[in-house]
């Protein structure tokens, strides 16, 4: 039987290994000398094999949830799909350029929120005029100006909730063909969460395919019809959300 | 334990074939050279905005704020003048030693700052690289722009110093414009080169200060290299005079100081060396950086 659905993301036996610097166990100069003398590989650089051979195909109009315990490789897999962390082995094929909607997009603490918004928009590839035009809208959406003029203050003066809201608002300002959402819904207060969930739904309608990484099973249940369960860098289960979530809940309570 | 539930018929095609049939492209694949250059051009506003932001950010907590952009080069010049001009008396044979020294310090300081910041421009921005997709060469290039902006302030200070020390304004000052352009291309290429090397060999950051200081002493910033190398065989002094920084500094002095001691090499040959270095480093650095584009996220 031939599959008539149009694939948007094809993940083919992907492995991701990344290097961590500064993880030496014996960090004394003597220890470093001893390692050099005995020609042992430096422990200051350790390799983390985060994704160990994952394959799946996602199709147009699908919303796929990614679940798993902390450190199971969900975020790393998303970054590999976005092309940010290149796959060490295997390949990822995507339609267009996927966008990662994360809360940890880089920001500069010493410049004002407003300038960070313009910078963030430009970094996502918006033309200058569009970035300028969208800035007030983004600041409004983030709601950081609800208690006075915070947008002209440096980011380092913001509370963690405020800066997370601003980051999300910037990332959500652009339309995407393949959208990857990394825990983005878990920021801010209840009011902001409601607003951001609406926004994600809007973005989903415009996007071909959505991936959602979340620890909040209810938001996965609300948005995704298919769910992939990752455990230690491998796919444990891939199927309809209800079945996978049921198995996952059983697994978590059994521990 | 439940086996993986396969809900869709297993695709008959191999994943790569399936992807090819539907026109999907490999994520994170290295773009072609022309495509890369074009996307970099499309990101020019980001490069400049990032450079501006960094320039502003370095001084937001200082009480005197942006005034330090002017005070730093002035203080720098004063310290070197105190040591080399007053205490050691190196400037004895050079007329207008203050202008001579400032030319050297500011021109060298530009490329040196670009080299130092370029080395960490990838390794220091990994968070950003792992969060956003943009041509990575934007980072070393925006480092170059940040330093260029500071150089332009320094150059205004320098023009002031030159005027105060009694040099008349001359038309030849305009040659500073092509000169700084060549130096910027050279520095941008160097930043891209060091950015890639620094992203692989993280210890380079620790070594760079020593490399840069050696380069500083070899570039005739505080003394005239021509007088110092009189006793060397011709081939050795020719080799020393191919040092790009020496050439950029000498050409700037040639433009600004009427009494600049003549070099044993003609001004025209120095311009040729400057153009050569700009092309080699600019193109070479870009090509070298582009070849690694795929790997920068890995750390």
User: Residues of B numbered 193-222 whose beta carbons fall under 8 angstroms of chain A's beta carbons: which are they?
Assistant: 202
Q: What's the confidence (pLDDT) of residue A209?
A: 84
At which residue do the structure tokens 């769910």 appear? A227
- Dump pLDDT digits (tens) for B214-242: 999 888 887 777 777 777 787 877 888 88
The more confidently predicted of residues A28 and B111 is: B111
B9/A contact by beta carbon, under 8 A = yes
pLDDT of residue A39: 67
Give the gap in angstroms from C-alpha A98 to the nearest C-alpha of chain B. 8
**Ramachandran class of A143: left when φ > 0, alpha when ψ lies in -120 to 50, beta otherwise:** left
Which pLDDT does position A164 carry in this prediction? 80
Q: What is the pLDDT of residue B185?
A: 97
Those residues of chain B that have pLDDT short of 70 are: 1-12, 28, 90-92, 299
Q: What is the pTM of this model?
A: 0.82
Q: What residues of A are in contact with residue B60 (Cβ under 8 Å)?
A: 110-111, 154
A45: which residues sit within 8 A by CB, 6+ positions away?
A: A19, A20, A21, A23
B287 to chain A, closest Cα gap in Å: 20
pLDDT of residue B120: 92
Q: ipTM above 0.85?
A: no
* CA distance, residue A106 to nearest chain B CA (Å): 5
Rounded to the nearest angstrom, the minimum Cα separation between B14 and chain A is: 9
Q: What is the pLDDT of residue B211?
A: 94
Interface size, chain A vs chain B, as Cβ–Cβ contacts under 8 Å: 163
Residue A145 has what DSSP assignment? Answer: T
B140: nearest Cα among B185, B109, B170, B96:
B185
CATH class of segment(s) A7-21+45-254? alpha beta
- B98 in Cβ contact with B257 (< 8 Å): no
Neighbouring-strand partners of residue B80: none
B134 touches chain A (CB under 8 A): yes
The percent of residues in chain A predicted with pLDDT above 70, rounded, is 88
Whether residues B28 and A84 touch (CB distance < 8 A) is answered with yes
pLDDT one-digit tens code per residue, B6-32: 444 454 577 778 877 777 777 767 788
The shortest C-alpha distance from B202 to chain A (Å) reads 9
- Please state, in angstroms and as integers, the Cα–Cα distance from residue B245 to each residue in B252, B276, B277, following that order: 11, 13, 10
Residue A210: exposed, middle, or buried by beta-carbon count in 10 A (0-12, 13-18, 19+)? buried
* For residues A148-173, average pLDDT: 83
Query: Which of A38-42, A204-208, B78-82 shows the lowest mean pLDDT across its residues?
Result: A38-42
In chain A, % of residues over pLDDT 90? 6
Disruptive mutation site among B16, B17, B130, B141 for chain A (greatest number of A CBs within 10 Å) = B130
Domain boundaries, chain A: 7-21+45-254
B62 in A contact zone (CB under 8 Å): no
Instruction: Examine the pLDDT at A191 and tell me if it is beyond 90.
Output: no
So what's the pLDDT on residue A1? 44
pLDDT of residue B123: 87
**CB half-sphere exposure, B138, CA atoms < 13 A:** 28
* CA contacts within 13 A on the Cβ side of B286: 16
Nearest CB partner across the interface for A123, out of B6, B28, B132: B132
Interface test with A, best of B23, B120, B132 (most A CBs within 10 A): B132
pLDDT score, position B80: 80
Residue-wise pLDDT for A77-110, tens only, equals 888 888 878 888 888 888 877 777 765 556 777 8
* Residues 6+ away with beta carbon under 8 Å from B168: B258
């Amino acid at each position: 039987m031939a599959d008539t659905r149009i694939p948007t993301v094809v993940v083919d036996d992907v492995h991701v290994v990344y290097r961590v610097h500064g993880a030496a166990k014996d960090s004394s100069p003597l220890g470093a000398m001893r390692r050099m003398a005995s020609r042992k590989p430096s422990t200051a650089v350790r390799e983390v094999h985060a994704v160990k051979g994952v394959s799946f195909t996602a199709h147009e109009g699908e919303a796929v949830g990614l679940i798993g315990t902390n450190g199971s490789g969900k975020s790393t897999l998303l970054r590999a799909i976005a092309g940010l962390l290149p796959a060490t082995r295997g390949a990822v094929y995507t339609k267009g350029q996927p966008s990662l909607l994360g809360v940890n997009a880089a920001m500069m603490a010493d410049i004002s929120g407003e300038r960070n918004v313009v910078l963030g928009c430009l970094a996502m590839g918006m033309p200058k005029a569009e970035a300028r035009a969208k800035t007030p809208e983004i600041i409004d959406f983030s709601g950081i100006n609800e208690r006075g003029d915070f947008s002209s203050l440096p980011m380092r003066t913001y509370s963690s909730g405020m800066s997370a809201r601003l980051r999300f608002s910037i990332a959500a300002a652009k339309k995407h063909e393949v959208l990857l959402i990394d825990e983005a819904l878990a920021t801010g207060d209840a009011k902001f969460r409601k607003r951001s969930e609406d926004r994600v739904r809007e973005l989903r309608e415009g996007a071909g395919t959505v991936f959602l990484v979340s620890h909040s099973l209810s938001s996965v249940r609300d948005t995704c019809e298919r769910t992939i369960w990752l455990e230690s860098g491998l796919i444990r289960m891939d199927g309809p959300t209800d079945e996978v979530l049921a198995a996952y809940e059983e697994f978590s309570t059994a521990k | 334990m439940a086996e993986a539930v396969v809900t869709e018929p297993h695709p008959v095609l191999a994943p790569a074939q399936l992807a090819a049939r539907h026109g999907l492209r490999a994520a994170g694949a290295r773009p072609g050279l022309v495509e890369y250059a074009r996307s970099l051009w499309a990101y020019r506003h980001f490069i400049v905005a990032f450079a501006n932001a960094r320039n502003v950010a370095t001084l937001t907590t200082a009480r005197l704020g942006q005034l330090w952009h002017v005070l730093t080069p002035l203080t720098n010049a004063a310290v070197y003048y105190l040591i080399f001009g007053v205490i050691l008396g190196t400037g004895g044979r050079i007329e207008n030693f203050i202008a001579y020294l400032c030319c050297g310090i500011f021109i060298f300081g530009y490329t040196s700052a670009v080299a130092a910041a370029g080395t960490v421009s990838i390794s220091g921005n990994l968070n950003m690289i792992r969060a956003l997709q943009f041509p990575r060469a934007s980072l070393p290039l925006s480092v170059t722009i940040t330093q260029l902006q500071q150089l332009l302030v320094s150059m205004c200070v320098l023009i002031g110093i030159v005027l105060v020390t009694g040099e008349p304004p001359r038309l030849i000052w305009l040659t500073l414009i092509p000169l700084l352009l060549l130096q910027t291309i050279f520095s941008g290429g160097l930043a891209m080169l060091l950015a890639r090397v620094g992203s692989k060999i993280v210890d380079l950051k620790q070594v760079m200060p020593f490399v840069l200081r050696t380069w500083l002493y070899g570039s005739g910033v505080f003394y005239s290299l021509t007088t110092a190398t009189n006793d060397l065989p011709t081939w050795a002094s020719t080799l020393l005079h191919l040092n790009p920084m020496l050439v950029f500094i000498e050409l700037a002095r040639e433009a600004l100081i009427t009494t600049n001691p003549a070099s044993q090499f003609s001004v025209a040959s120095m311009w040729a060396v400057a153009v050569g270095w700009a092309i080699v480093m600019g193109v070479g650095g870009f090509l070298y950086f582009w070849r690694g584009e795929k790997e920068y996220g890995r750390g």
